[in-house]
Structure 1
Amino acid sequence: MASVACFVPPMSANIYYPVLAPIADDLHVSVALVNLTVTSYMVLQAISPTLFGDFGDMAGRRPAFLVAFSIYLVACVGLALQRDYAALLVLRMLQSGGSSGAIALGFAMVADISVSSERGKYMGIVGAGINVGPTIGPVLGGVLTQYFGWASIFWFCVVLISLWLIPYALFVPETCRGVVGNGSVPPQPWNRPLIDLIRRHRNRRHQNPGDLSQTESIPAHPHRKLRFPNPIRSVKIIFEKEMALVLAYNSLLYVAFICVAATLGTLFREIYHFNDLELGLCYLPYGAGCVVASLGQGYVLDWNYRRIASQIGFAIDRRRGDDLLKFPIEKARLQPVYPAVAVGLAALTVYGWVLHFEVGGVAAPLVLQGVIGLTITGSFSVMNTLIVDLFPDAPATATAANNLVRCAMGAVGTAVIEYMIRGMGRGWSFTFLAALCAVLSPMMFLIAKKGPVWRNARRMREEAS
């Protein structure tokens, strides 16, 4: 459920790209104006998780998911029916606001149900959903638009999210440890699956008077005071020492990733003269590398965690989870990143020059895209896991902070990459991105060395307050 939920936001963003020109024609506006709906979508994509992340940590994952995707569902229906530019602009913002919090909530759900020694593989499964979205989105958008018209992409989103919302509302229980603890604390009645409420109602109706003492022995749900979500909580996390470095380098890797994806369509159309459907298919090798990276890195992370625990004589507790106070979690997570980043940046450089000199046919850049997707995506997926490890008590809020910085830097990167290519050329543009990541890579070693000290100091400061 978490993986599909995390698939929706990037899919919704990328399924829209093939319909920009058809929408502009139908609404009788310029493509530049329709492009503003992309910008507005990205703005809400950065802001929305700061609200839903705090809401999910406070009230629980279920109400946050249900509110977020209900907003998304209404927006998608409106987008499919609207024929006015103002409605398009507002509803795209509403669509982004509803869906974009799902990634923070999905990662938080993983933190709820997994211990740190086994978190890698679960994060990998959720990360696969995130990475499939940008790949499948353009293909779906191109095919649906070609055969059914541009409104069909929004009806597709309506059907998809309905198929998710119904079983989630019916069957999936609350997982937030701040609400249900380890599962022994019952949530509020309004925060229970519908099937659970129906079962309880039937049990009470068929209960004998002599069984009332059993009912009374069930612990009552604690009273929880709800408040309006506070986005400042995510902003505060950004300024913690270890998180500032993790977020900065993680976002830099994301910029390299998104710049390859953002320029693929224009560069391949210019060089190879592909049509829209062929361009959509060109995203598949990139996506395949991303998915393999997300699934594979989880098992690598869990293996490296066990290896380091064995080296330092650290006992792994798979029932209650590990106290990371004396465990170098930064080192355990970042060690696999070093070789992956080195290979990925080399592939990024070669990719730029292959496109610059137009050598190797279409096969060479597609293979290099797969390598970049495998290594760069795997690297920032690992760092996403580290972010959850650093803030296990507020994983949704921490993931929202990551999303805020990542989307902001990604927006800047996609805004300037076309100008860089025009001014510097294809080869030097991607070489510059690779060089920037390489020059700042010592940040990872600093995180591994100083991170435990900063993390423990933060914990002592929080306990004192």
Structure 2
Amino acid sequence: MTSKSDIVGGTPANNPPPSPTMPIPVDSQTRPTGSTPRSTEQPPSQDPEKAIAQNAEPVHKQYSAFTVTEKKIMVSVGSLAAFFSPLSSSIYFPALDTIAAALDETTSRIDITVTTYLILQGIAPMFIAGFSDTAGRRPAYMICFTIYLLANLGLGLQNSYVALLLLRMLQSAGSSGTVALANGLVGDMITSAERGNYIAFASLGSMLGPSLSPVLGGLLSQYLNWHWIFWFLLIFGGTFFTCLALFLPETCRKVVGDGSVPPPPLNNSVTDVIRHKRRMKKGVSPDPEHISEVRKNYKLQIPSPWPTLRVCLDLETSLILLTTGLMFACFYAVMTGATTSFHEVYHFNNIESGLMYLPIGAGGVGSAFTTGRIVDWNYRRHAKRAGLPVLKGVRQDLRNFNIERARLEIALPLYYLSLASVIAYGWVLGHKVNLAAPVILLFISGWSLMGTSQILNALMVDIWPGKSASATAANNLFRCELGAASSAAISPMTQAMGSGWAYTTLALIAFAASPCFWIMMSHGMKWRQKRLGKKEEKSLAKGALDGNKN
């Protein structure tokens, strides 16, 4: 069965690309203003047999109309928008004891606000991700930031535990959707062959969040009232959102295709207007037929969790989600327990405790700028073995390519290293060794865990083309819900078992799930082919039914 190009990104065999001997248009989906429509008769030089006879190389359509520089800037902006989710979560950690004293509550009850934040952080993206995959990224950003800013306003004004608990949940619901949207931007513009080069840009926000935000939280809670944590988030978030709303272009392929189609008014930005006016001045206008084809799946609808839940129910995907979630459970246990541990073991104040989160972020940033090169190298190595040409900027047919093995061969060593560092961290805390030991282990943990996370995020986008935001939301669901459980459990576990055995227990649970990765490397491609085959059959059946109706 011939695979459909909209599923796997290849070029259908019965519609070969134009020969380089023909003039190449500015955009393959546009034509000069006022020109006559193209003839349906294929020019002789586009005949595949003649092209072969002339030793002509096929011309591959670029996956995105945006330049490399534009893509890097847009992915970085989306990543900085995703920064607000870990920022709002981690900025809170150094002030936990201060807030507990101010509200006359126990630290355990304040820890519940961390747990509920993580629960909503997993659930909320399920609703906004599917919405953004059909309605566009920009309307989704508008919804997320509006909720987030209103929540911060309320948190800055409140003085009760119940208000803190509920508004933190609302704050999480608004900010967490931006993580899925950032990976949606990557899926809209970046192909599998070049995805490693963009890991540093795509992960910038998630790397900076865990490292910088505790320092900010420590400074604000130490020298100002703890309410200023939320006033700072309101001011910073409002400023960033204004810039994003004005200048970030729409990228969703169901709205603007490869970026050459002008977005509808609701999805327009200042840069979209300027860019398309320039294209018109150059004599390039969108092809109405192409606009109609792109927009047939564009629709505004009430946000629903079903697109994300359908991703979760896939066998291959569920294995990725389980192992990633258990790894992050260890990470969130470290993040939640660090403040109390460094207060009790090393007698740190809020600022000093906040500084202890810097090694995690430093390791994550280092991983982002090193892992990407290795990921792309391994992709090229496997592509060469499989006889798959590596075409940068061109979406390729990966149906018969073991992308799972190409990604997981790099992710697995990092996965095991992250678990080993968590175990060692627990034991050095338990034995109250020199401060240098936990600092080094936190750096290693951040480097290995963030590297693993970014590779698995890239794999999720690879196996779910066209649903990158929904795939990321599914990943976020497992990661945050398991992280919430470990955050709630780490304090009683440490009291009952000691730090060493508490962290060892969590790491061994994650280790027990790691054979899922080995199974995926062997069987993942078959499962993916089967899923894509079923999708094709449904699409063909639907097309035949629509044809009969007409």
Counterpart residue number, 1:304: 378
**Structure 1 residues 57-456: aligned runs within 5 Å:** 57-194=133-270, 196-197=272-273, 222=295, 224-359=298-433, 361-456=434-529
Q: TM-score, normalised by structure 1?
A: 0.91
What do residues 155-203 of structure 1 show as CA deviations (whole Å, max 9, x unaligned)?
A: 2112222232222222221101121111222221221103544898999
Aligned to 1:101, the other structure's residue is in SS state: helix
Asked if the contact 1:111/1:119 (under 8 Å) is kept, the reply is no
What do residues 75-97 of structure 1 show as CA deviations (whole Å, max 9, x unaligned)?
A: 21222233444443333222111
Partners of 1:3 and 1:201 in 2: how far apart? 28
Aligned to 1:324, the other structure's residue is in SS state: coil
Asked if the contact 1:56/1:64 (under 8 Å) is kept, the reply is yes
Count of equivalent residues:
458
Asked if the contact 2:94/2:351 (under 8 Å) is kept, the reply is no
Read off the aligned partner of 2:263 and give its amino acid letter: P
Counterpart residue number, 1:45: 121
Partners of 2:164 and 2:493 in 1: how far apart? 31
Counterpart residue number, 2:34: none
Tell me the percent identity.
42
Using a 3 Å threshold, how does the CA distance of structure 1 residues 458 and 86 change in structure 2: closer, same or farther?
same
Using a 3 Å threshold, how does the CA distance of structure 1 residues 264 and 455 change in structure 2: closer, same or farther?
same
Partners of 2:108 and 2:431 in 1: how far apart? 31
Aligned to 2:369, the other structure's residue is in SS state: helix
TM-fit CA distance, 1:40: 3.0
Using a 3 Å threshold, how does the CA distance of structure 1 residues 376 and 151 change in structure 2: closer, same or farther?
same
Asked if the contact 1:189/1:197 (under 8 Å) is kept, the reply is no
Read off the aligned partner of 1:313 and give its amino acid letter: G
Partners of 1:73 and 1:265 in 2: how far apart? 27
Deviates more, 1:348-357 or 1:333-342: 348-357
What do residues 388-446 of structure 1 show as CA deviations (whole Å, max 9, x unaligned)?
A: 11111101011111111111111111122222222222222222233333333221110
Q: TM-score, normalised by structure 2?
A: 0.78
TM-fit CA distance, 1:338: 2.5
Partners of 1:215 and 1:357 in 2: how far apart? 69
Using a 3 Å threshold, how does the CA distance of structure 1 residues 332 and 202 change in structure 2: closer, same or farther?
closer
Using a 3 Å threshold, how does the CA distance of structure 1 residues 455 and 183 change in structure 2: closer, same or farther?
same
What do residues 297-333 of structure 1 show as CA deviations (whole Å, max 9, x unaligned)?
A: 2221111111111222211222321111121110110
Using a 3 Å threshold, how does the CA distance of structure 1 residues 371 and 215 change in structure 2: closer, same or farther?
closer
Aligned to 1:366, the other structure's residue is in SS state: helix
Partners of 1:353 and 1:249 in 2: how far apart? 23
Asked if the contact 1:263/1:418 (under 8 Å) is kept, the reply is yes
Asked if the contact 1:119/1:302 (under 8 Å) is kept, the reply is yes
Asked if the contact 1:51/1:229 (under 8 Å) is kept, the reply is yes
TM-fit CA distance, 1:269: 1.9
Read off the aligned partner of 1:400 and give its amino acid letter: A
Deviates more, 1:361-370 or 1:335-344: 335-344
Deviates more, 1:384-393 or 1:430-439: 430-439
Read off the aligned partner of 2:418 and give its amino acid letter: G
Using a 3 Å threshold, how does the CA distance of structure 1 residues 342 and 195 change in structure 2: closer, same or farther?
closer
Partners of 1:27 and 1:423 in 2: how far apart? 27
TM-fit CA distance, 1:9: 0.4
Partners of 1:459 and 1:203 in 2: how far apart? 36
Using a 3 Å threshold, how does the CA distance of structure 1 residues 38 and 125 change in structure 2: closer, same or farther?
same
Partners of 2:447 and 2:278 in 1: how far apart? 51
Partners of 1:23 and 1:362 in 2: how far apart? 26
Aligned to 2:262, the other structure's residue is in SS state: coil
**Structure 1 residues 21-40: aligned runs within 5 Å:** 21-27=97-103, 33-40=109-116
Using a 3 Å threshold, how does the CA distance of structure 1 residues 243 and 216 change in structure 2: closer, same or farther?
closer
* More helix as a share of residues: 1
Deviates more, 1:228-237 or 1:426-435: 426-435
Partners of 1:71 and 1:36 in 2: how far apart? 21
Asked if the contact 1:110/1:123 (under 8 Å) is kept, the reply is no
Alignment RMSD (CA, Å):
2.6
Aligned to 1:62, the other structure's residue is in SS state: helix
Read off the aligned partner of 2:127 and give its amino acid letter: L
Read off the aligned partner of 2:516 and give its amino acid letter: M
